[in-house]
Amino acid sequence: MIRFGLKQEQALKLTMTPELRQAIQILQYSSADLMSYLREQANENPVIDLQEYDISISGASSRQEQTRDEYSKSKSVNPVDLLDWIAEPPDTLYVYLKAQLGLVRGLTGTRRKTALYLIGNLDEKGYLETDAREAAVLLGIPVGEVLDALALVQSFEPSGIAARSLDECLLLQLRRSGEEDTLAVSMVQRHLTDMACNRLQKMSDALGASIAEIQETADRIRRLNPSPGSVFAHNEHRYIIADITVEKSDGGYLVRLSDLGSPQVSVNPYYGQMLQELPNQEEARQFIHDKFNTASWLIKSLEQRRQTLTRVAEAIVEMQRDFFDEGIHGLKPLTQKEIAEKTGLHESTVSRAVSNKYMQTPRGLFELKYFFTSALAAADGESASSESAKRRIKQLIDDEDKRKPLADQSIAELLAKEGLEISRRTVAKYREEMRILSSAKRKRF
């Protein structure tokens, strides 16, 4: 028999409050994302005073009093339009080809319209995405007129544009450069896969040419651009701003947060005075009071972020001291768990702290995650980092005899002689991550 009733019991439960969620979020932000977030908060909360670190030309001069005065004087004489410093957007492939079409005289309206239609159907690599027959049906013209317009577009720059396949793209470039010959045409039309796999002997037997001729022609073909339209594929530029700066000092390294990594947020005192002047307006007082609490929590979260990032960065610099002194060969294996144990932070906190953060060092600009590498066993009982192994593998390949390139097993054996125990499969994995071809494809004759 089931009995129903009410009873009380105590239980502990972790609740993710909005404030805690905000603190976690702020810790995870990069400097640029943090500034965007703080701008939003400042717009929503009038109590917040945000002192931004201006990286503009005028902002840079304002950071130095004397320079600012000089800038103000020169500005009155030679006014500067800040729009002059904004890059003009480059032409797209469509605009570039359309401009060339406009220079062609004597075209009929139909042919110009057809050529413009074909230009509009090129993908980002510069290849024609539509079929000539489909275009003819859609435009209501014979296929021959479409092919004539296509030939016109293919005569434009960049060379190889509006091709319908890779081999046609390469043949167009060979023809334009005047290097089209029977051997090159045959290799492009019949042996592209063999050329990609460096099967020189097979092509030599099939085409009746010497290996030297095959290799020379293959080199010429590889210098062609398989994606002529890609030069117009403008990706959005991502500007990296260092969150942490490491400077070499007497006997050690000084770690500090950059100005963007530690923005200044304060509470506007005007609203504190306003609270005293509104004793009988409870609704307004409550609104300002809530905004004060929100701003105070935000300031505490920023201070906690600053302390956490500083502790993590100092621990990384201390544990990777050999890297800062010697370079990549001194990079040691390191895990986030080790940093967590050293700093007394939780591992998840360390993970958030290093996420999307960059460190400016005397050795260059590095993402914080760069310093966390897996360990590889060494013969002397010590351990080496995977990044060090990759650099050594690349160096061995760069110095090899290209007529007898090193196989992955040979590289593994050479590394073992240097005291680094690494398997052939691991060598192959690292080589592929660095986009280095296998020994068979690197071989030269």
Provide the whole-model pTM.
0.59
**In this structure, are 262 and 355 located in the same domain?**
yes
Supply angle C-alpha 260, 266, 267, rounded to 5: 155
Rounded Cα distance between 357 and 242, Å, is 7
- CA neighbor of 362 nearest in space, from 321, 324, 309: 324
**In this structure, are 180 and 105 located in the same domain?**
yes
Strand duo 244-249 + 358-361: pairing: parallel
**In this structure, are 363 and 314 located in the same domain?**
yes
For residue 12, what are the CA distances in angstroms to 9, 15, 228?
A: 10, 10, 64
For residue 68, what pLDDT is reported? 42
**In this structure, are 305 and 330 located in the same domain?**
yes
**In this structure, are 366 and 282 located in the same domain?**
yes
- Extract the residue ranges of the chain whose pLDDT is less than 50: 55-78, 80, 82-83, 85-86, 381
Residues 209-231, buried b or exposed e (16+ Cβ, 10 A)? beeeebbebbebbeebbbbbbee
Amino acid letter, residue 423:
S
Segments in 103-254 forming alpha helices (H): 109-119, 132-139, 143-154, 166-177, 182-190, 192-196, 200-207, 211-222
CB of 275 closer than 8 Å to CB of 289: yes
Tell me, yes or no, whether 393 lies in a domain: yes
Q: What is the CATH number of the domain that holds 193?
A: 1.10.10.1330
For residue 150, what pLDDT is reported? 92
Tell me, yes or no, whether 218 lies in a domain: yes
For residue 73, what pLDDT is reported? 44
Rounded Cα distance between 418 and 90, Å, is 50
Tell me, yes or no, whether 179 lies in a domain: yes
Rounded Cα distance between 414 and 397, Å, is 11
**In this structure, are 338 and 292 located in the same domain?**
yes
Range 157-160 contact pairs with CB under 8 angstroms and sequence separation of 24 or more: 157/96, 157/100, 158/126, 158/225, 158/228, 158/229, 158/231, 159/225, 159/228, 160/126, 160/224, 160/225, 160/228
Phi, psi of 360 (to 5 degrees): -90, 115
Tell me, yes or no, whether 85 lies in a domain: no
**In this structure, are 204 and 102 located in the same domain?**
yes
Tell me, yes or no, whether 429 lies in a domain: yes
Rounded Cα distance between 317 and 214, Å, is 52
Tokens of 223: 């210098």
Dihedral of the alpha carbons of 37, 305, 350, 364, in degrees to the nearest 10: 80
**In this structure, are 256 and 312 located in the same domain?**
yes
CB neighbours of residue 118 within 10 Å: 24
The tally of domains found in the chain comes to 3
Domain end: 373, 403, 418, which one?
Answer: 373
Q: Tell me the residue range of the domain where 214 lies.
A: 93-232
- CA neighbor of 101 nearest in space, from 56, 174, 161, 25: 161
Range 295-298 contact pairs with CB under 8 angstroms and sequence separation of 24 or more: 295/45, 295/47, 295/48, 295/265, 295/267, 296/267, 297/19, 297/22, 298/22, 298/26, 298/38, 298/41, 298/48, 298/265
Domain end: 232, 254, 280, which one?
Answer: 232
Tell me, yes or no, whether 194 lies in a domain: yes
**In this structure, are 217 and 266 located in the same domain?**
no
Tell me, yes or no, whether 255 lies in a domain: yes
